[in-house]
Amino acid sequence: MLRLVPRLSRRSVGTLSGVQMRLPRWTLLPLALLLSVAPAQATPITYTITGTATGALGVSAFTNALVTIALVGDTSFVGNDFGSATVNVSGVGTASFTDSMFVTDNPGNPSAQISDFTLNRLVFGTIAPAFATYNLRGPIGPISGTSLINAGSVFATTLGNFDMVSVFGNTSTFTATTAAAVPEPASLLLLGSGLLLAVAVRRRRSGKKA
């Protein structure tokens, strides 16, 4: 038996017990914008390298103190991940690096390191087999291995120059942790503009009806 299907209007979005369900046209624009911007997410990621080292931060020398260098980036990067980086020396304090900093990996000589882009020089790194297949785009660790430093090289920070001359046990630990994904600013701006436009259109139509 041939059954006829009733024709739905363009504004119909579904049926419930034979009753048509419709959305006002003014809601379609922000809905379309929401669907279009939903995939645009950036996931913050923090790379951290720690080790017990000897060196100096500004005017304060330290011996066998816990040193933690951290860089905050996001997983949407292409190539090396650039971001803001800090150094904390236990018993001395925390400073921000003033040069452009980035994190990189080297699958050929399995390692991950935080480096000074301005000077094109490694600051602190870790060599371990796990980095042979790691691409910096997700969490890992903690991974301990052979430490990498540029002994005697100095790096500018907000507390003065930072340098390490040695790492106790020649060992460092690399960790990468991620936070909840957050919408990109451009996506939020696009969605907000769409909502404002929709409200303006609805008010204008309401004014005409009055």
pLDDT digits (tens, 9 = 90+) for 147-184: 999 998 999 999 999 999 999 999 999 999 998 655 55
Short-list 145, 144, 147, CA closest to 123:
147
Q: What is the pLDDT, as a whole number, of residue 17?
A: 43
Q: How confident is the model at residue 60 (pLDDT cuts 50, 70, 90)?
A: very high
How many CB atoms lie under 10 A from the CB of residue 59?
9
pLDDT digits (tens, 9 = 90+) for 181-203: 555 555 555 555 656 665 555 66
Which residues neighbour 160 within 8 Å (Cβ) at sequence distance 6 or greater? 57, 58, 59, 95
Extract the tokens encoding 117.
């882009």
Helical axes 185-209 vs 28-37, angle rounded to 10°: 170
b/e 153-171 (16+ beta carbons within 10 angstroms → b): bbbbbebeebbbebbeeee
Distances (CA, A) of 136 to 82, 115, 150, 193: 11, 14, 22, 34
The percent of residues in the chain predicted with pLDDT above 70, rounded, is 65
The pTM for the full model equals: 0.68
